[in-house]
């Protein structure tokens, strides 16, 4: 605590003359210097064998004065549970009487203790509570003279939590929140609110905004596919509230639906009759060796493929295996014999027409 060194009455300290009372009759009286409007000085009893002398009455006396430390000239703020220990220097001879009051009333001696010395007074509170806040006045009295000093003490603590929080809206990757202020601000001005989010997968809380001065906010950059809960703390000079309300509803961040634009042009018609883009090729094979025939066809809609041998349908004959994939048509002749030679035809048919290709297959004996 900073002690004042200037030998003058500090701001907030006043000196006044009290009205005379019977209780003051026995006290030696100090007086301000004579001037216009000053009361007549009270002289000490004359010394035996001499005449009264005003100079002797003030030789060993001092007017009461209080030096208020600089730190106490503005509101003195302490946290709940902290110790308050104020030392206030003063002067006055003979020893003046020091009296403390709290908001104009006597101190609660069960909570506040005072020690008065010859040149200072100490106000002590072991564990400050919010009820100890208020205006304290020190009065230093010497006869009818009195000096006073006023100290404003404010005891603060952490605020209560906001009363509620609500999920207002969810769109895209954002969520809008609103809440109501706390009922108890902790005896201090709020510095703002801290907003946190937690996704249901991890359950971990992360701060998304600090010192928010409004009672609403928008949380951005939420991850698609996650669901989020939110909570909000109030904050003052002592710190964050001990608890925080949590949103009753979860914010589900969903993937935005794909929007298809209306086509402004007529869709092209890709329908066409069958057309072979790769014909069958003549081939010569050996008895007993599997042989494959290939050709390629294009058609829309998809055509029906029919295989013929010497103009006879061979569909379902186990000697042949026919496949069609992505317009490629194949026919496997399994272990051909001397009578499997001839003209093979591949015919493609759809509602728009038909087409066909031929090839000759010769089967010869092995050398």
pLDDT above 80 for 228: yes
pLDDT, tens digit, 9 for 90 and up, residues 241-268: 999 999 999 999 887 766 666 666 666 7
pLDDT-derived band of residue 294, with 50, 70 and 90 as boundaries? very high
Q: Summarize pLDDT for 30-51 with one digit per residue, the tens.
A: 333 333 333 333 322 332 233 3
Who contacts 360 (Cβ-Cβ below 8 Å, separation ≥6)? 282, 283, 341, 342, 343, 344
Is residue 84 pLDDT above 90, yes or no? yes
pLDDT > 90: percent of the chain: 65
User: Residue 326 burial by CB count (10 A; 0-12/13-18/19+): exposed, middle or buried?
Assistant: exposed
Half-sphere exposure of 290 (CA within 13 A, CB side): 8
Give the Cα separation of 130 and 155 in Å (integer).
5
- Output phi, psi for 108, to 5 deg: -80, 100
Cis peptide before 154 (omega within 30 of 0): no
Q: What is the pLDDT of residue 268?
A: 74
Dist CA 211 CA 191 (whole Å): 6
pLDDT digits (tens, 9 = 90+) for 116-170: 999 999 999 999 999 999 999 999 999 889 999 999 999 999 999 999 999 999 9
CA 14 remoteness from chain centre: 49
pLDDT digits (tens, 9 = 90+) for 167-219: 999 998 999 999 999 999 999 999 999 999 999 999 999 999 999 999 999 99
pLDDT score of 11: 47
Taking the C-alpha atoms of residue 30 and residue 35, their distance in angstroms, rounded to an integer, is 15
């Amino acid at each position: 605590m900073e002690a004042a060194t200037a030998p003058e009455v500090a701001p907030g300290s006043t000196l006044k003359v009290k009205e005379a009372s019977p209780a003051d009759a026995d006290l030696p009286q100090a007086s301000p210097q004579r001037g216009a409007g000053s009361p007549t000085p009270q002289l000490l009893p004359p010394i035996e064998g001499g005449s009264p002398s005003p100079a002797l009455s003030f030789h060993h006396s001092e007017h009461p004065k209080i030096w208020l430390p600089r730190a106490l000239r503005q509101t003195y703020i302490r946290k709940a549970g902290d110790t308050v220990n104020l030392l206030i220097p003063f002067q006055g001879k003979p020893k003046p009487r020091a009296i403390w009051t709290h908001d104009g009333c006597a101190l609660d001696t069960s909570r506040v203790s005072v020690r008065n010395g010859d040149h200072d007074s100490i106000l002590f509170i072991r564990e400050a509570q919010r009820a100890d806040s208020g205006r304290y006045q020190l009065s230093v009295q010497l006869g009818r003279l009195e000096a006073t000093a006023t100290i404003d003490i404010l005891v603060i603590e952490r605020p209560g939590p906001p009363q509620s929080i609500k999920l207002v809206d969810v769109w895209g990757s954002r969520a809008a929140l609103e809440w109501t202020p706390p009922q108890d601000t902790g005896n201090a001005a709020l510095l703002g609110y801290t907003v946190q989010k937690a996704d249901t997968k991890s359950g971990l809380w992360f701060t998304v905004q600090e010192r928010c001065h409004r009672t609403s906010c928008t949380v951005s950059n939420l991850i698609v596919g996650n669901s989020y809960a939110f909570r909000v703390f109030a904050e003052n000079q002592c710190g964050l509230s001990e608890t925080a309300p949590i949103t009753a509803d979860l914010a589900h961040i969903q993937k935005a639906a794909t929007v298809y634009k209306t086509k402004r042009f007529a869709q092209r018609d890709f329908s066409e009759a069958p057309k072979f883009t790769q014909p069958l090729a003549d081939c010569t094979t050996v008895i007993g060796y599997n042989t494959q025939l290939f050709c390629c066809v294009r058609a829309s809609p998809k055509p029906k493929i029919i295989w013929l041998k010497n103009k006879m349908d061979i569909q379902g004959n186990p000697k042949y295996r026919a496949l069609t994939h992505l317009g490629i048509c194949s026919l496997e002749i399994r272990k051909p014999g001397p009578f499997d030679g001839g003209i093979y035809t591949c015919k493609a048919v759809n509602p728009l027409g038909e087409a066909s290709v031929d090839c000759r297959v010769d089967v010869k004996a092995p050398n």
